[in-house]
């Protein structure tokens, strides 16, 4: 009977401690600052897919953009390299059969319809 009394007393003490700490915690306001340990974040590029040689050939070519620039996509073996107005060559990877992107995120080429239609949407951020 003595063991039961000690356990019950200990349980009540723990419950009282939890209740008092919950009651003293106030919700954070918009101006409150909370210190937290830094968590390292690693940028992971989307997974690329492998295209067949004939699919790579369909993506190659020159595309005239609405701002007057020319996007040129060329193949170098199993790699695709893109350049805008003949400047810096950027290796791009196929993320799908209609989407190419640079690993560093500087260039995305989204083919609108079949690649032979010549319609692309390009997002480019100079590095």
Q: State how many domains the chain has.
A: 1
Whether 21 is covered by a domain: the verdict is no
| pLDDT reported for residue 38 | 56
Whether 119 is covered by a domain: the verdict is yes
Q: What is the DSSP letter of 45?
A: P
Whether 58 is covered by a domain: the verdict is yes
Whether 39 is covered by a domain: the verdict is no
Whether 1 is covered by a domain: the verdict is no
The tens place of each residue's pLDDT in the chain, 127 residues long, gives 444 444 444 444 444 444 444 444 444 444 555 455 555 554 445 688 888 888 888 889 999 988 999 999 998 777 899 999 999 899 999 998 889 999 999 999 998 877 667 788 999 888 7
Whether 3 is covered by a domain: the verdict is no
**For residue 63, how far is the Cα from the chain centroid?**
26
What is the distance between the alpha carbons of residues 31 and 68, in angstroms, rounded to a whole number?
48
Beta strands, E only, 1-127: 61-64, 70-76, 79-84, 90-96, 99-102, 107-111, 120-124
Whether 80 is covered by a domain: the verdict is yes
pTM higher than 0.75, yes or no?
no
Question: 79: domain range?
Answer: 53-124
What is the distance between the alpha carbons of residues 71 and 83, in angstroms, rounded to a whole number?
6
């Amino acid at each position: 009977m003595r063991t039961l009394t000690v356990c019950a007393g200990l349980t009540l003490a723990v419950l009282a401690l939890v209740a008092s700490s919950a009651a003293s915690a106030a919700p954070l306001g918009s101006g409150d600052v909370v210190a937290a340990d830094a968590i390292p974040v690693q940028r992971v590029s989307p997974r690329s897919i492998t295209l067949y040689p004939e699919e790579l050939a369909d993506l190659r070519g020159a595309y005239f953009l609405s701002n007057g620039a020319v996007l040129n996509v060329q193949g170098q073996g199993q790699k695709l390299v893109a350049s805008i107005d003949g400047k810096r060559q950027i290796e791009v990877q196929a993320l799908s059969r209609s989407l190419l992107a640079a690993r560093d995120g500087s260039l995305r080429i989204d083919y609108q319809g079949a690649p032979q239609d010549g319609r692309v949407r390009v997002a480019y951020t100079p590095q």
